[in-house]
Structures are given as structure tokens and as C-alpha cells.
Structure 1
């Protein structure tokens, strides 16, 4: 095929490629993918729940068959010890996250706490729960099915690789499917996720949870057989209004006992932790299995199996002594098993205890009627048992709605709804009064996880969408442009990529690398832009969450994302926009309404030969610091082969237009001419500008954009008195919005030229300033391995060239909570500097609660001349804004402080 035929084929194939790309995007939209995966998750979770149920039943039957020759008092403890030991070993060695109920782990994972949920956890939970419960430990399988479903969902979502937001929604769907399959109650599965785990009612979350729970419930009912409650055929479930006070009393008692039960769970965990601390998990579970076997051997045969006990208590027709024994024995066994760390839940045990409590209440009501001589209708024991189940479940989980629905779904009898509502709500109110918060909240707090403390920060970000942070003014290219016209557009702009539009609709993206490939292929400049642009569009919608935007930026390693409505381009998001939004959220700052300042106006400009590989901008305003800043800038520029761009900003009132306001620039021109002379001395190209503006920061940002600045070096007072500001008005805005690298310099007083009012720089004063600069001999560089700290390290060879005899101290501050210090980063940085410098480099690890206090103490103790800091990626980013470490250091140190920050985008 000839070259012309190849080009023709490219042109003809572009519409087909565009059609296939758009069709694939429509097919794989995140919402469609999430719904499909929700159905798959429901199926897998149901199969896992059925497998767990059948495995436990098989192991119980096998246990009964092999224990025939042995006496019951020996067989049950032996099986309990063996099952607990094997289950504990499995958890210890393969997945420690599989211990316990599993509900707290899922709750924490949905709150973005880093807790493992994957295929490994699911498999270990399945096998270990089978061993533990099949050997007799008195816990439920429904809690583990929630964790298994969530873990399987988390693993599958990673394979398909959606954003963190979708991963969270699919994990919630897996949890709902697990609970639905465990109880054959799909509605309860959805409600529990919403009421206890997620507290999220968004369309996608609710839709995926409903689909997964529906599939899980249907499959479990078809394959797994009956649920926790036996069929109520032939049992009268009606009740009279005269029984409402008794149901309220039942709910109140369940609330009290449920609250005490929760405290008992926590006390059991504390007991094992205090008395059996040296014991491994496997031995603690073996002990729990042995104790359980002994107690079960002493119980009547009908109370040894949880399933048989539940059927016996729901149907009723027994003595109060048997019901009381069932309640007390099961309560003791649950505390023994759960405190050991065995894998098993509290759902089924809570329902069993509730049914026993309801049975006792029904017997008490009959006794009251007999003693008082009153004649009124008394419901069947089943009504009281079911009401007690919902009430006790509500007291433990603090989910009254879930409690009502879960019992109703298992019975499918509308007659039980009103008693359930009365008992569950009364129980919830009493339990919350006596013991606030669900058992899962307190179990997480035992692990040091306080979800309520995380909520305010999370909520700030959950409310942000792409529309909140996008730039609405977007520079675009037309698909009809030629390659040569696109090349000229790149030459005029500092952008590294452009959206390509056709009739207002996004059709592609053109990057500098695309142009580079066109040059390599020697494509003619008159060919259409559509031949070289990328048709693989990664876009977001205006309502997409910030978490989704962050995921796409990271996953596809792009620096900007077009925002589209349909295919219409309505904005663009860069990494700089996200950093700015974060800063505004943390500081409480918002974009002001009303008219914005007019663009600055250039009134004086000089140009030098453009021979450098980049440009360094130095805004000059204070003659006292001008020479020191110029010297620092020149040192960095010389090392990097940059040109210097010097800027002086003349401010005018807001009611005057910068382009129409006459100003006196005599002093400004003198300062710029002085910078040019210094550049000639240093043999560095120096460009100058004098701008008239309403705002210094705005003029700096406009200069960065127009002059393609790579590095901004600004003076910094070291502190600010303006409320809500960190470094000062101009510096805050520049460091937050400048897309280039930024260096802030707070000069020591001994480096400043204290000139009389109105006096300008002279050659002698400049010489004095240079002499003072060479006193910068002792350098202190705190480092923690972040990108900005590494950037500070790379600047050190240039900066230390200002010293006659440089000494560099590299330090790293470790919190007291760390028992072992990892100084590998510290040593790596020191090795790099020793290769670059002919000066001693000392490494110093420090232990302190406060980074700023440690750095200040060291700087004062060693009489350091300069402190070089890398801005935290999180603190203009959150840490620096809230703690303002640079300001604290500069305020308490007389030395020069240099703060560096890499480009935002």
C-alpha cells in the first residue's frame, strides 16, 4: 500500500473508529457496569451463603455420626476443641481480618478505613466459620455471610477496576446480598446496609443493593431451603389490643437486656484480652470450643442445636424452666465464643435470645391472667417469640427497621408486623437510652476506629462534584484545523493538551506527544488534525463525585479531564483545580461573588535572547530583599539553564481600569534595569515586566500563563495576620493556583538591606547583600520522602553554591508511637547529596510529637543559617493549612526559610 493510500485509509477509517469507541463507552458506562456486577455479586454471595450453610450442617451431622461410640460429655468438648483450634490456626496464618463477626470490618471498609476485603478473606472466612460453627460454637453464620459477600464484591470490583465510589457501592451491594442470602430476606439486606453500614440513599447505591439482595435472596431460597424460622402453618398469629401494654413491656425488657448483652460482649473481649493475652487466637478458640462442648453436654438434647432450639422456642408449648435455661445457657455460650475471637455473628444468636425472652413473657402474661382473674385474649407463644426476636435484635444492632423487616420476611405473615413494630421501637428507645450506639460501633472503637470523627472531613468531600471544581472556560481546538495550525496553538499556549471539538461536541484530545508522533512519521502540516488526535476519551459528567474524578486522573495517568454533558464539552478539570478546591474546603474559603478584577496591563517590558531551557519568575517588590532573591534565583537558573523573568506589579484601585490608569514607573524601571545588569554579570538572560493590576497574585498568575513560566520564586514574610490566610494574600493564591513549581523564601533579617525611605539600590548595597549571602553555611533540610521533600533535595546542589563552606543536615521526624525508625529514605537522600556536593552531609533522625517544634529546636541548637522545607502534598494540602508548619518554623527561627512545592499539574 502506497503512502497516499495509507493516508486515505486513515481518513476513511476515522468515522468507524469514532463510532466503535463511542459505542464501547456507552456499553461500559460505570452505572451499567455497576448494575451488571451487582447481579453477579448477588449470585456469588448467595452461592457462598448456601455453601456455608450446607457445610455447617454437614459438619454437624458428621460430628454426630462419629461421636456415637463416645460418651456425649467427651465427644462434644473434643469436637469443640478441635474445631476451634483448626479454625483459629487458619485465621492466624492466612487472614487475621476474618476473626469475629465481620460486620464491623465491613462497616469500617465502607467508611474508607483501610481494612482488607478480598478473595483471601472471603475464603478463609468461609472455611473457618464452617469449622467453628460446625464444631458447636454458639454463634451465627449470617454475620460471616455479610463479610464474605462484601469481600467477594470488593475483589470483583478490583478486577473490573471501577472508581473508589463504585467500589464502595458494590461492596455495600455484596454485604446486602450476603445478609439477604443468610436469612432469605432480601429487603432486610438492603435496609441493614442503608440503616447501619452505609447511610447512603443515592440512586446507584440503592439500585445496586436492591439488585444484589434480590438475586441473593432468590438463589438462596431456591438452593438453600428453609430459613431461620420454621413454617408457621396452622399457628394462629392474631393478637388483641389488650396485649399492647405487655408487648411494650417485652420491648422495654428486651432493650435493657439487649444493652446488657452488648456490654457483656465487650466484657468478654476484655476478659480474654486480660486473662489470656499470651495465648494465640487458635488456643483461645480451642478453649471456647471445649467450654461450649461441656455446657452443651449438660443441656437437654433439644437445646444442644441452635436450629432445634430456635424451632422449639418459636413454636412454644413448654415450661418456663426450659425457656429460662435456653436463654441463660445460650447467652453464656455466645459470650464465651465471641470473646475468643471466633468467626461468627450475633444476628442469629440475638434472634434466638429474643425468642426465649418472648416465650418467658408469654408465660408471664398467662400467669398474670390466672392470678388477676382477668379474661382477655392471649396470643399464641409464637407471636411473643417473634416480637421478642425483633426487639432483642433491635437492641443489639440498633436497627429497628431492619429488625421488623427481617422477622416479617422470614414469616411472610402480616399479622406479626404491628407487634414487631411495638416491641422493636420500644426496645430501641430503651437500649439507646442505657447504652448508646450499636455493638458494631463499640467493637470498632475497641480497635481504635472512630467513624464519627471521620465523618465531617468525609462529608466535605462527598458533597463536591465535577461541576464544583471544573474550569468553565476551556481552550479548545477545532477538528477542522490542520496539524500545522495545532502546532502553532501549542507554541502560543502553556497547555500540554487541548480538547478537540466539532460543533461544540468533544470528539478527541490532542497532546504534545501526539504532535511529536506526527513529526516522527513526517506527516504533512496541511493534513487534518483528526488524523493524529486521540479518540480514546476519558471524561466525567458534571454530577460525578470528586472521588471518581481523582480515580480517573490516577488510573489513566492524565493531568486533565474534560467535563461533558452528553458529548457537549462544558468544562475541564486539572490537578491544580483539585488542589485549589481542597484548599478552599479546608480553609473555608469560597470563590467571591460579584465582579472580578480586570486583567493586568503591561506598561514596561524588556526581552533578552531566549536561550534557556525554561523560565524562572521572580516578582520583586521590596528593595531590601530584591538582591538576595535575585541571587537565589540566578543560582537555581544557572544550574537548570533557565532564563530569569523579573516582575514588578504596580497596584491601582479597583474602580480604575489598569489599562487606563497612568502610573509612575520610575522606581520600577530602575529596579528592572538593575536586574538586567545583574543578569549580565551572572551571564543569565533576564526578561523584565512592569504590570499595572488590581491584585498582585492575579498579575503573577497571568505572567506565569503568558510567559510559560516553569518555576516561581517569591519572597515571603514568614507570617501573616490576615484571618484565613496561611502565607499572605498574594502568596496563598500563587502557591495554590500556580501550575508551575513554586519556591517561597523568607529571608533572615541579616540578609535584608535596611535602606532609608525612598532610597534605591546601589552597586555598593548590592555588593553588601552578596557578601551577606555567603554566610549561608549551615543548611537544615527536614525530609519525609514526599515528592516536595525530594524536590528540595534536588535543589540543594544549586542552593549550597551560595555558601563558602556548606554543611548540610538532613533530618527526619518520627512520632513517638513508632517503635522502629525507617531511615532508608534519609540515607538515600544523604547518599545523593554526598555524590553531588563537596560538603559534609549529616543525617539526624528525631523523635518528637511536633514536626515544627523538633525542627525549631534543632535549628536553634545548631545555629543553622537556612531551613529548606518541602511543602506537604496534603496541606496546602490539609496538614500545612491546619498546622501551618512553615509559618511556625519561620516565626520562631531567625534564619532564612525556603519552602518548595512541585507543579500542581
Structure 2
């Protein structure tokens, strides 16, 4: 490859993009198989319901989720502690040169333990594992093709972006995610930027070949007149505060789980597994990643009180599920939580001002869709990613202005309340536990002790 102080020749650019295409394809293989396995396994409660009933069904469900949670925690702690949680902070730290990605361990552990945890019904998203696996696949390709360190950093980011593209069938969001979320670490050049494009393309394509094409959330949103923007701004204010609350609850629960781990290493995962297993039978909408929950409540639109109770329950189950330390992300739980709040806001607004909202073409589902982008912006503080991700997921292009409005107010309110990006806080927490501060100028994979547990 070319020296760092010279522009790349066309041949060098082509060779780099070719490697990025390979990274995306490899990520697509892992991502596609990951989604296919989860989509198959997550049907087990239905299978169980056809064979046992009553308290036996509840007991069997609790046993399954507990066993899966403990198994996922065990192999994560035993073989790759850094594979716990989302994986996005690990990727950001690796690009910055302050974390180590042991791809040989992370890939199989993230894949197997992630399927067990998410497939069991825990309130976790698929995007964290696929992002981490994408970065790991990139490092595997770098070793295969003997890429230098500066190229490894760029390909690491490209692989992570491909992982997000796999998770949501959203290649444009993947490119923006690298730009917005890793803006402080990503080595920007035209060639590196094109590498991110290339990995997102092949990652999405290969995933679709394996697990099928799907707009993940095909919701009917209708139109939204300009006069409705103040209502969406108010929704953004509410979700800005909710985003700060969500982040603080996640970090607080991680501290509680760490304290329990010192006293009884597997008691907390056992209790969470029991809780989730019981809820899978008695209140199924309060658990699982939430993609199906979003579709169900958007179609049925329960009352505002029911939606707010569901939001509170999903907030609790999301933070406790994430705290046990299995592989799993927070994007999907954030989106389902936001949908509950947005729909409740829409139902209340429709009750208070039925004629006004009808005249502006706004429905509760419109608020639910916009709420997903706004809460994502408040927690991750990547508003452009939030807007584009929801447009790719829902095809609700008529809601661009409401989304921008809500994301603006949510992001501002979150900052004014002292909120910080959740992944940055997680990375700081990891470094503090490892007894290290941010390192400058380190190479990927050389700066941090991978054996320390992370989230």
C-alpha cells in the first residue's frame, strides 16, 4: 500500500476497495447466518405453547431463558470478556488505538453467545453483535492480506459499518454511522471513505442473499403538514429527557450487575433469565428485541395508559437484560421503547385535538416513527444516523421534516441535561475499570488488556 504522506494511485485505491468489498461480504456471511439463526430460534415460545400449558409452560419458559442466559454469560466470560454487551465501544476504542479486538475469539463467541442470548428472548438488539463481528471480520481480512495499521483502522470502521448494514438492511445508515459515530477516530481520506461504501454494499447484499430482503418496519405513516412541527418538537423534548434517563439507567444497572458478579457470579444472569422467561408467557410484549412488538402495537394502537406501562416495563427489561453481560445491542430496544412513548403521545394528542391532527394528516403511528429517530438521537447522539436509519427501516419519507425537528430538540435537550453519547460513556467506563486512560497514537490492537470485562 502507499506511504501515508502520498495520495493513493488508482491501482492502490482499487486494491484497497477490493479488500473492503471482501470485508463486507465476510461480514454479510456472519450477519446473514446470525439473523437466520435468531429468526428460527426465537419461535421456540410458540413451539412450547403447543406442547405444554399453564404453570408448566411458564416454568419451562423460565428454564429455557435462564439456561440460555447463563450459557451465553459463561462462554463470554470464559473465552472473550470483551465480547459482552454491544461491541460498539470496543470498535471505537480499537479504531482509536486504545482497545484490542481479538477477532479469533470475538467472532465465534459473539456469534454463538449472541444467538443464545437474543434467541432466548432477552431484550437485546442484533446490531451490536453484527457491528462487532464486522470489525472482527475486517481484522481477519487485514491479517489475511497483510494490511498495514493505518489501513486496518479504516477497514475496521468499514467492517463495523457493514455490520450495521446487515443488522437493519440499511447501507446508507451504515455509512453515516461511521461518519458520525467514529468521527474522532476514523482516518478520513477519499479512499478510506470509498472503502466504507464498498463494505456496506457487499455486507447488505450478502445478508439479503442469506436471510432475505426485508424492510424491517414497513409502517404506514401518512403525511404531516408543516403546522404539526411544534407537536413533534414537544415530542423531541420529552424523548431528550428519556434518552438521558435511559443512558443513566443502563450505566447504573451495569454497576449493580458488576457488584453482584463479585459476590455470586451467575446469580444475576439467573434472576434475569427467570424474569424474562416468565414474561415471555405472561406478558410477551415486554421482552424480546422488540421488532415484532413495534409492528404489533403500531397496527393495534393500544390506549395511552397501556402504552406507557409497556414503555416502563420495556425500559426495565432492556436495562436488566443488557446488564448481565451477554452479547447484544441496544438499538432495537431503544426503537421499541420509543415507539411506545411516541404512540402514547400520539394517542393523547389525538384525543385532545382530534380535528386538528386529522386536518394535518398526522396519526399516532406518525409520532411513533418519529419517536424512534428522536430517542436514538438522544441516547447515541448521532441524529443524522437516527433520521436516515428510520427512513430506511420504515420508508416514511413524508416524515423527514418532523424527524429532523424531533431529533434536533431531543439532541439539544439531552445535552442541556448533561447527557453524553452512550457508547462514549461505556468506553470510558471500560477504560476506567481497566485502569487506563485514553491513549494517543497507539496502533489498533496494541493498547489495552482484552482480558478485562467490558460492556
Deviation at 1:39, TM superposition (A): 0.6
Cα 1:374–1:134 change in 2 (3 A) is closer
| Partners of 1:446 and 1:367 in 2: CA distance | 44
Matching residue of 2:311: 327
Unmatched 5+ residue regions in structure 2? 1-7, 445-455
Matching residue of 1:79: 64
Q: 1:420 aligns with which of 393, 403, 411?
A: 403
Matching residue of 1:124: 109
Deviation at 1:294, TM superposition (A): 2.4
Matching residue of 2:450: none
Matching residue of 1:439: 422
Q: 2:135 aligns with which of 134, 150, 157?
A: 150
Deviation at 1:378, TM superposition (A): 4.7
Matching residue of 2:347: 363
Give matches, 1:581-600, under 5 Å: none
Cα 1:245–1:118 change in 2 (3 A) is same
Q: 2:367 aligns with which of 384, 397, 420?
A: 384
| Partners of 2:37 and 2:208 in 1: CA distance | 16
Q: CA RMSD in A?
A: 2.6
8 A Cα contact 1:169 1:204, kept in partner: no
8 A Cα contact 1:268 1:336, kept in partner: yes
Deviation at 1:127, TM superposition (A): 0.5
8 A Cα contact 2:357 2:363, kept in partner: no
Q: 2:248 aligns with which of 260, 263, 278?
A: 263
Cα 1:28–1:408 change in 2 (3 A) is closer
| Partners of 1:53 and 1:374 in 2: CA distance | 38
* TM-score, normalising length: structure 1: 0.45
Give matches, 1:287-686, under 5 Å: 287-299=271-283, 301=284, 305=288, 306-369=290-353, 376-448=359-431, 454=438, 457-458=440-441
CA distances 1:753-784 after superposition (whole Å, capped 9, x unpaired): xxxxxxxxxxxxxxxxxxxxxxxxxxxxxxxx
Matching residue of 2:195: 208
| Partners of 1:226 and 1:259 in 2: CA distance | 34
* TM-score, normalising length: structure 2: 0.88
8 A Cα contact 2:291 2:332, kept in partner: no
Relative contact order: is structure 1 or structure 2 higher (C-alpha 8 Å, sep ≥ 6)? 2
Deviation at 1:94, TM superposition (A): 1.6
Q: 1:110 aligns with which of 89, 95, 107?
A: 95
Poorly superposed stretches of 4+, deviation over 6 Å: 372-375
CA distances 1:240-271 after superposition (whole Å, capped 9, x unpaired): 22211110011110100011000000110111
| Partners of 2:61 and 2:413 in 1: CA distance | 38
SS across alignment from 2:262: coil
Task: Choose between structure 1 and 2: higher helix proportion.
Answer: 2
Is 1:35 the equivalent of 2:20?
A: no
| Partners of 1:190 and 1:37 in 2: CA distance | 17
Cα 1:304–1:453 change in 2 (3 A) is closer
Deviation at 1:164, TM superposition (A): 0.4
Cα 1:135–1:374 change in 2 (3 A) is closer
8 A Cα contact 1:391 1:420, kept in partner: yes
Cα 1:434–1:381 change in 2 (3 A) is same
| Partners of 1:341 and 1:150 in 2: CA distance | 19
User: Which stretch has the larger CA shift, 174-183 or 436-445?
Assistant: 436-445
8 A Cα contact 1:190 1:213, kept in partner: yes
Deviation at 1:173, TM superposition (A): 0.7
8 A Cα contact 1:83 1:286, kept in partner: no
8 A Cα contact 2:305 2:344, kept in partner: no
8 A Cα contact 2:350 2:364, kept in partner: no
CA distances 1:826-855 after superposition (whole Å, capped 9, x unpaired): xxxxxxxxxxxxxxxxxxxxxxxxxxxxxx
Give matches, 1:804-843, under 5 Å: none
Is 1:182 the equivalent of 2:176?
A: no
| Partners of 2:23 and 2:261 in 1: CA distance | 39
8 A Cα contact 2:380 2:422, kept in partner: yes
Matching residue of 1:45: 27
| Partners of 2:413 and 2:357 in 1: CA distance | 29
Give matches, 1:644-793, under 5 Å: none
Aligned residues: 429
Cα 1:69–1:405 change in 2 (3 A) is same
Cα 1:437–1:304 change in 2 (3 A) is closer
Deviation at 1:28, TM superposition (A): 11
Task: Choose between structure 1 and 2: higher strand proportion.
Answer: 1
Matching residue of 1:162: 147
SS across alignment from 1:314: helix
Cα 1:259–1:228 change in 2 (3 A) is farther
Deviation at 1:375, TM superposition (A): 7.5
Unmatched 5+ residue regions in structure 1? 1-25, 462-546, 549-905
8 A Cα contact 2:158 2:200, kept in partner: yes
SS across alignment from 2:182: helix
Matching residue of 2:257: 272
